Amino acid sequence: MSSGPGHPPGVCTAINCIDGRVQLPVISYLRARFEVEYVDVVTEAGPAAALCEPTDSATVQSISERVALSIEHHRSQGLAVVAHHDCAGNPAAADRQQEQLRAALPLLRERFPEVPVVALWVDEQWRVREID
């Protein structure tokens, strides 16, 4: 899975919550989903809410710049936006968070057309499910 000198072998990118409980399940899921060795993680408290209703342009810009670094410099092969059960940064109900994930997809797909973009929901059992 080598990407050449100076580039990690097989990388994808996750826009994930800062909550440590979701990190390992999401990384495990994405390694298998995109068949990569590494997952670059861009963390933000409740990122789906910020991306679906981009009123905080500084947050959206910051997330976008960090994702662009992963894609351009690590040759990321895929991108995921994540929301999860019991989120302190986005305490909305599960169905609302899943709506936010779906609403964030067009923005991410427009900004990063060179990679597939998926939305992931992490439930109360810390199981990861792709939604779209």
Mean pLDDT by 10 residues, the chain (132 residues): 56 97 98 97 95 82 96 96 96 96 95 97 97 86
List all residues 6 or more positions away from 39 whose beta carbon is below 8 Å from its beta carbon: 11, 12, 13, 14, 26, 27, 30, 31
Q: What is the pTM of this model?
A: 0.91
Residue 19 Ramachandran class (φ > 0 left, ψ -120 to 50 alpha, else beta): beta
**List of domains in the chain:** 11-131 (3.40.1050.10)
pLDDT value of residue 130: 98
